[in-house]
Each structure stands twice: as structure tokens, then as C-alpha cells.
Homo-oligomer: A and B are copies of this chain.
């Protein structure tokens, strides 16, 4: 039997071990424990302890006039995968006011070949894992998560409502939606919601072979919507049928996804804070380091009812404005019989060449993500443009059938 002395020694030893273990779990580096305190006001003070000094320096450097305004903006990120998670992290580190994350997937070890998620998060929902890491990195950002598939009817209504009231003060819509989804159906749902709400958004995509990607700014009525024409992708020598086919185990690289997320958030910052030029379409071909750009006007024959409404709104707006805008209006009247899509493309690959020209061909390095839609029954280019009565489901079924 043990003596009292031995037992007391054992207790002392266990108490020491426990104290050590407890101190470990608090001091040990771990992302869901205490990180840094909240910061009430962004400061430009140059001290090592200020997480915003290098961002506020953008003002001193003459790049941004109003960096601290970033706290007033709310951005929705739909899809928190290879592109979306890095997108969310970049915005978080930039100190965005509010981030609304949508996804319904779980983290898997198969996702570890992209930035952001870590092995211990396997099995967690992506939005929950992201929220924990992001609020640890920057507790000043309001992070709201929605763990559902936006394409089902009930969730779509919820998605619409969240977008409509997602501003930092809850009294208006989000400032921008970033689409980081990996399938056509989800992109069409975002497109429908944005056309109806007159909400600007940026679509992003990475090819199945992992070596190209793109971002595309969509302003309802002003630029082509996602349904106006077959979406554009960067042309590779390898055959790609769609932006991303569901059920295919696509290749992916942290590099391509990191670059696309970087270009996406960089353009988001330019859009929100009003510096530089926001690029409407920017492609990335990794094999050649080629970055084609395009301008795409909306298609008057778009089958999306709200897209056509937004086009009419935009034309009214243009008509009520001074003459500078006339050049753009004239172009709208040009028709190309050989252009099945009735859309107009302006190549702006060469910044020197930024004249508005209409061409049937796409900018070098860009192609449509598929060849041709099903024949539209009786809807010819000569038909008058009216509101189509197609529901989102009809439209999606039609587009999925392509």
C-alpha cells in the first residue's frame, strides 16, 4: 500500500502536470483561443502592435483617400472553397466592416491543396470553420454565416432577403456580392437574385484543369449578366466544356486560386474605396501568364426578365444624362446577324486601345464556356424585347440542359 507521503508526492506531481497542461492550452498557439483585442477606431500610427498601420499607409502613399471607410462596407461571399475562403481572409485582414458567408459544404482533407483550411477542421462546415479562423484573425469584422445551398427555393428566398438587408446597419443591401461558387446552378441563382435586386456582383471561376481562371463584374442592365450569353472563360488548348462540371473531381492549385482570389478582392477594394480602375472581365491563363480583358454589354434578348428590366432602367438613366454618354447609346443599335448572342464585345486588352469598337470575335485568349444554346423557339433577334415570363426554375432547367 502507498504511504501518505507517497500519495502526497503523487498529488503534487499531478497538480504540476495539470498546471503545465492548462498553461499550454492557453499559451499554445491555437486559432480559436484569444487572439487580439478589438480595435474601436482604425489608426495610422506606425507601431508594431497596430494591425492596420500598413493599410492606413495607403492614404499617406496617395493610393486611397478614405481607407477607414472600409469599415462601413458589407460584402457577401457565396462559396467558401478554394477561392472564397482566401477571398474572405483577404477581406478580413483588410478590415472589411461585415462579411456574409454562404456555403453548405464540409471541410475535407481533399481541400488541403488550397490555402486557408487546415487538417484539424476536416468534417466541420466550411462557414463555421471559416468564421472561427477569421474572427480570430480579426475580431473587428462582423461575420455572419449561412450554412445552406442557395439554389433550393426556400433558401433562395432567404438568400435574397439576406442580400437585401445585409448592409452594415441592416437598413439596406450589401455593397457587393462575390461569387466564388464552383457550379453553374449557383451562379445562375446569384445572377437571378442580383438582376431582381439590381445588385452589383463579381463572378469568379477557376477551370477544371486548374490552370486558368477569371473574374467578371456584373452590373445589372449595364454589363452583360451571367445569363446574357454563354459565360466567358480563358481559352486553353485543353478542352473544357463548362466553367466547372459538378461531380467531376477537378484539379486545383493553391496558386491559381490564390491569384484569382487576389484579383477578385483587389478589384473589390478598388470598387468599394474608389481608386484605380475596376476591371470588368479579367482572365488569367497560368500556362502563359496571359491576362485577357473584355467589356461585355448586356444582351437585349436575354431570357432573364429582370435583366431586361434593368437594361431598360439603365437606358432611361443614360437618356436622362448629359451628352457624353451618347456614344455608348449609339452602339446599342448595331446589330450583327451572324452574332447569335446579339451581345457586343469591346476588347480592352491593350489599355492604349480603349476606343469603343464592336466586334463579333472575343478578345484574344477568351472563349465562351460552351458552344451554343438550344435553339430558342421563335425568339429571333428581330422580335421585340419584352419581359419574359419564365420563372427562375424554367430558366435554370433550360440553361442546365445546354
Interface residues of A (CB under 8 A from B): 1-2, 4, 7-8, 10-11, 14-15, 17-18, 21-22, 24-25, 28-36, 46-55, 57-58, 60-63, 86, 89-90, 93-95, 108-115, 118-122, 124, 129, 132, 136-138, 208-211, 238, 249-256, 258-259, 261-263, 265-267, 269-270, 275-277, 279, 282, 286-291, 293, 351-352, 364
Contacts and interface: CB of A to CB of B under 8 A. Distances in A.
18 contacts: A7-B7, A7-B11, A18-B18, A29-B32, A31-B31, A35-B118, A35-B120, A48-B110, A52-B113, A61-B209, A90-B254, A90-B255, A90-B258, A95-B113, A253-B266, A277-B287, A277-B288, A291-B291
Give the 3 A-B residue pairs with the shortest CB-CB distance, closest first. Answer: A30-B30, A276-B287, A259-B262
A212 to B, nearest CB: 10
Contacts of A290: 351
A83 B101 CA distance: 26
A36 B253 CA distance: 20
Contact of A18 (B17, B58, B63, B122): B17
B265 A255 contact: yes
Contacts of A289: 263, 266-267, 277, 279, 282, 291, 293
Given A36-B109, A93-B114, 8 more contacts: A18-B18, A21-B25, A24-B25, A29-B129, A36-B112, A46-B249, A95-B113, A258-B258
A36 B255 contact: no
A172 B286 CA distance: 30
Contacts of A364: 352
Contacts of A90: 115, 254-255, 258
A258 B118 contact: no
A62 to B, nearest CB: 6
A92 to B, nearest CB: 9
A287 B270 contact: yes
B253 A258 contact: no
Contacts of A15: 14
Contacts of A17: 18
Nearest to A7: B7
A276 B262 contact: no
Contacts of A7: 4, 7-8, 11
B61 A112 contact: no
B29 A18 contact: no
